[in-house]
């Protein structure tokens, strides 16, 4: 885990944006994020995590960060998937709060202002995509996956796949990380005895780029991961130090 302080310490809220081959969306991301920062509820910065993109995403991200003093980036040496990109972002975040959004522009960055007030009483606040604009087949896959996950984890979250979440950074950095972890963020927060709130957010159709999800990683992978979570849940350790002379 990264422990050194960095420029994100100067902010209260950091937005992590994992990016993998989304060059067609970078310009829209730049405009949307730069418009949001002045109206954010807290002093906010953006941390792009380039997850080993093979297109021009990395170059475009660096150019964007040169134009905006509150934008930062990490370049990963290879594509590790969304959970790896989130772990890198969490490990390098030093602000009090951290959130993330996908680079596909299917959610609205302004809706972070709907989620952030919940952090006064909850550890994690997650969006629920209202009136989803995905295909019927994709929505069906998500409903099946979400239903099975809720049964296996008991997290009570109706849309864990919503790519708009905010949380306490201390909890985020203590998350037990594994591939597919992003689907279990609420359940993993509950393992730390933290509380979770759900808030409806807007959802839009994808206008550019290609989805990185298909039948295998939306259904079969999460099915296997649920059993891994159940194993972890029975063995997870929580402790609190009452006093010390360190």
Q: Which domains does the chain have, with CATH numbers?
A: 7-235 (3.90.550.10)
Question: What pLDDT was estimated at residue 71?
Answer: 98
The answer to whether residues 143 and 113 touch, using CB atoms and an 8 Å cutoff, is no
The arithmetic mean of pLDDT across residues 236-240, rounded, is 76
User: In a 3-state reduction of DSSP, which class is residue 16?
Assistant: strand
What pTM value is reported for the model?
0.83
Q: Which of 180, 184, 178 is nearest to 213 (CA)?
A: 180
Three-state SS letters, 215-241 = HHHHHHHHHHHHHHHHHHHHHCCCCCC
| 24-61: pLDDT as tens digits | 999 999 999 999 999 999 999 999 999 999 999 999 99
The distance of Cα 164 from the centroid of its chain, to the nearest Å, equals 6
Whether 163 has a pLDDT exceeding 80, the answer reads yes
- Retrieve residue 34's tokens: 């730069």
Query: Can you give the pLDDT at residue 141?
Result: 61
Q: Which residue has the higher pLDDT, 202 or 176?
A: 202
pLDDT band at 211 (very low <50, low <70, confident <90, very high): low
159 or 37, higher pLDDT: 37
Section 226-234 average pLDDT: 74
- Reported as type and span, the H/E element at residue 148 is helix 136-153
Would the pLDDT of 78 be above 70?
Answer: yes
% of residues, the chain, pLDDT over 90 = 56
Please name the helix (run of DSSP H) or strand (run of DSSP E) that holds residue 158, with its range, or none: none
pLDDT digits (tens, 9 = 90+) for 104-155: 888 999 999 999 999 999 999 999 987 765 556 565 566 666 666 665 666 7
- Residue 187: pLDDT above 90? no
| Least confident stretch, 12-16, 159-163, 169-173, 230-234 | 230-234
Q: Percentage of the chain surpassing pLDDT 70?
A: 82
CA distance 25 to 28: 5
Average of per-residue pLDDT values in the chain: 85
Q: pLDDT at position 230, please?
A: 74
Which pLDDT score, from 0 to 100, does residue 75 have?
97
d(CA 19, CA 95): 21
């Amino acid at each position: 885990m990264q422990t050194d302080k960095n420029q994100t310490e100067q902010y209260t809220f950091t937005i992590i944006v994992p990016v993998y081959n989304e060059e067609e969306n970078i310009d829209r991301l730049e405009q949307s994020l730069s418009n949001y920062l002045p109206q954010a509820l807290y002093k906010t910065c953006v941390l792009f995590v380039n997850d080993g993109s093979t297109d021009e995403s990395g170059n475009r991200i660096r150019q964007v960060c040169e134009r905006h003093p509150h934008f930062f980036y990490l370049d990963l040496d290879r594509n590790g998937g969304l959970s790896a990109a989130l772990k890198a972002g969490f490990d390098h975040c030093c602000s009090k709060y951290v959130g993330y959004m996908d680079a596909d522009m299917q959610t609205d960055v302004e809706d972070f202002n709907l989620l952030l007030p919940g952090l006064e009483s909850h550890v994690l606040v997650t969006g629920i995509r209202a009136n989803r604009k995905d295909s019927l087949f994709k929505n069906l896959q998500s409903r099946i996956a979400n239903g099975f996950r809720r049964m296996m984890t008991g997290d009570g979250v109706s849309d864990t796949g919503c790519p708009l979440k905010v949380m306490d950074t201390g909890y985020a950095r203590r998350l037990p990380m594994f591939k597919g972890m992003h689907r279990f963020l609420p359940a993993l927060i509950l393992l730390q005895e933290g509380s979770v709130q759900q808030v409806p957010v807007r959802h839009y159709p994808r206008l550019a780029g290609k989805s990185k999800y298909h039948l295998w990683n939306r259904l079969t992978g999460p099915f296997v991961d649920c059993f891994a979570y159940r194993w972890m849940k029975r063995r997870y350790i929580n402790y609190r130090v009452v006093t010390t002379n360190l």
